[in-house]
Amino acid sequence: MNRVIRVLVADDHAVVRAGIVALLAAEPDIEVVGEAVDGEQAVELALALLPDLVVMDVRMPRLTGDAATARIRERSDTVRVLVLTTYESDASILSAIEAGASGYLLKAAPAEELIAGVRSVAAGEVALSPAIAAQLVSRMRMPAPSALTTRETEVLRLVAEGLSNRAIGERLFVGEATVKTHLVRAFEKLGVNDRTRAVTLAMERGLI
């Protein structure tokens, strides 16, 4: 039998932290060695405590789970990261995995799945919720699934705020024609033909 799996829990919600801790602490081979309430603290504690893995929420103040994951992975190749999210449609799934996360589970997952995920990741394997795995596969089939460019995303974000094309142009210091170009391209990528649907779809996918 290996030594105990040392875990750092990072989530801004006290209730969720307590839940993860309660579920994990009940397992004899898992020990919770610390808790962080935001992304920055997660990075600090991860580097100070060097746990086997960090169970990390995606949406946190000060530093998102993605960014925190990237920073931890940059500075340590022993600390693995298991990301938790509420929304399976979250676009951050891809970025978290790119950032070096070893697992991605839904908060709606049953306790056994979380615990099994912790053990898998600690053993060097990958842990994915079925719903998330399915989504990854479907994204693989679609070559350019979302992949909005920086500018397109910026424009769409301002559209969501209700700005007109002209106003967006002024805000970004470009011509209205440019704004329209970005929008038309975003429409094509999203498979829609009006700004409102583009915004709601982008929101569903966590793009903006």
Partner DNA sequence: CCCGAAGTCCACCGATCGGTTGACCCGAGA
Partner DNA sequence: TCTCGGGTCAACCGATCGGTGGACTTCGGG
Helix axes 14-25, 111-122, angle to 10 degrees: 70
From the list 15, 41, 190, 62, the residue with the least C-alpha distance to 54 is: 41
Q: Which does 15 bind (CB under 5 to 8 A by kind): a second copy, DNA, none?
A: a second copy
Does 178 participate in binding DNA (rule CB under 7 A)? yes
Alpha-carbon gap, residue 151 to 171, rounded angstroms? 12
Sole binder of DNA in the list 182, 190, 201, 202 (CB under 7 A): 182
The answer to whether 42 and 68 are in contact (CB under 8 A) is yes
What whole-number distance in Å separates Cα of residue 97 and Cα of residue 122?
16
Pattern 134-163, a second copy, x by CB under 8 A: -------------------------xxxx-
121 lies in the site for a second copy, by CB under 8 A: no
6 near DNA, rule: CB under 7 A: no
Kind of pairing between the strands at 80-85 and 127-128:
unpaired
Residues that bind a second copy (CB under 8 A): 12-23, 84, 86, 107-111, 114, 159-162, 164, 192-200, 203
Residues that bind DNA (CB under 7 A): 147, 149-152, 164-166, 169, 172, 174-178, 180-184, 187, 193-196
